Amino acid sequence: MEKPNRVGIMGGTFDPIHFGHLVTAEEARINFKLDKVVFVPAGNPPHKKNYKVSDAEHRYLMTALAINSNPYFEVSRIEIERSGYTYTVDTLRQFVDIYGRDTSLFFITGADAVLDILTWKDVKDVLSYCNFIAATRPGYPVNRLKEKLAEIKELYGTHVYLLEVTAMAISSTEIRRRIKEGISIKYLIPENVEAYIIKNGLYR
Ligand SMILES: Nc1ncnc2c1ncn2[C@@H]1O[C@H](COP(=O)(O)OP(=O)(O)OP(=O)(O)O)[C@@H](O)[C@H]1O
Ligand SMILES: O=C(O)c1ccc[n+]([C@@H]2O[C@H](COP(=O)([O-])O)[C@@H](O)[C@H]2O)c1
């Protein structure tokens, strides 16, 4: 198969994956002319210490179910098969090995994650391996974000692209809370993911 020119990488805990993630990836794909978007469920995320993250296989399978109907989406086991804490820098290194330097990589994140990026492991390498797309919602206060992006540009010379995504005030935290409290999650996540959650008794 021909090597793709532009590959999006959507990293996340995906506990569970929801329409906010999917819409963001699709809009990034279209706006940045990406050949495909690879979803990378985090293995053992070092930064999510305030709650017990669900088993990686559940999160992987839910992601696989969610992307099934989109021919431009893939899911990768790259992080869930790595032992120890999973850092983005190691993931990007593996992607550069797989695709080579001729393929442009675009890491897609929410704007909130970008605000923390300077605290990521080996941030200098992270920013040298790929471009960044930071998704905001309409009405998002971009002033602080723009200051941070200017700081990143000055320190590392990396430009972070902004992408305003159709309003999607959905979060995995909210989905987990609703399930725990017996409130409907219909139309917030794909139906097949909802069925998987019910079948496996997750988040109760
Ligand atoms: N509704 C949304 N719209 C756009 N991007 C989102 C949305 N929710 C999360 N993201 C982004 O998707 C990526 C993966 O997010 P993650 O799996 O942590 O989901 P989350 O909903 O933020 O989870 P949690 O509520 O558990 O923190 C992050 O870069 C995050 O900023
Ligand atoms: O590598 C790091 O130090 C690092 C620190 C925080 C977050 N990340 C990555 O950022 C992505 C979004 O994180 P999250 O917490 O919103 O799921 C996900 O792919 C994480 O692995 C990476």
Q: Whose CA is nearest to atom 13 of ligand 1?
A: 12
pTM of the model: 0.96
Q: pLDDT (tens digit, 9 = 90+) per residue, 6-19?
A: 999 999 999 999 99
Domain range list for the chain: 6-168
Candidate from 14, 37, 88, 114 with most ligand 2 atoms within 8 A of CB, to mutate? 88
Q: 3-state SS string over 96-114?
A: HHHHCCCCEEEEEEEHHHH
- Describe the strand order of the beta sheet including 160-164 as a list of residue ranges: 73-75, 36-41, 6-12, 104-110, 131-136, 160-164
pLDDT in tens, 74-111: 999 999 999 999 999 999 999 999 999 899 999 999 98
Helix H or strand E encompassing 10: strand 6-12
Residue with tokens 């998704």: 135
- State which fold the 6-168 domain adopts: Rossmann fold (3.40.50)
Phi-psi region of 69 (alpha: psi -120 to 50; beta: other; left: phi over 0): alpha
pLDDT in tens, the chain (204 residues): 688 999 999 999 999 999 999 999 999 999 999 999 999 999 988 877 678 899 999 999 999 999 999 999 999 999 999 999 999 999 999 999 999 989 999 999 998 888 889 899 999 999 999 999 999 988 888 888 889 899 999 999 888 999 999 867 899 999 999 999 999 999 999 999 999 999 999 999
87 ligand 2 Cβ < 6 A: yes
CA of 103 to the centre of ligand 2 (A): 22
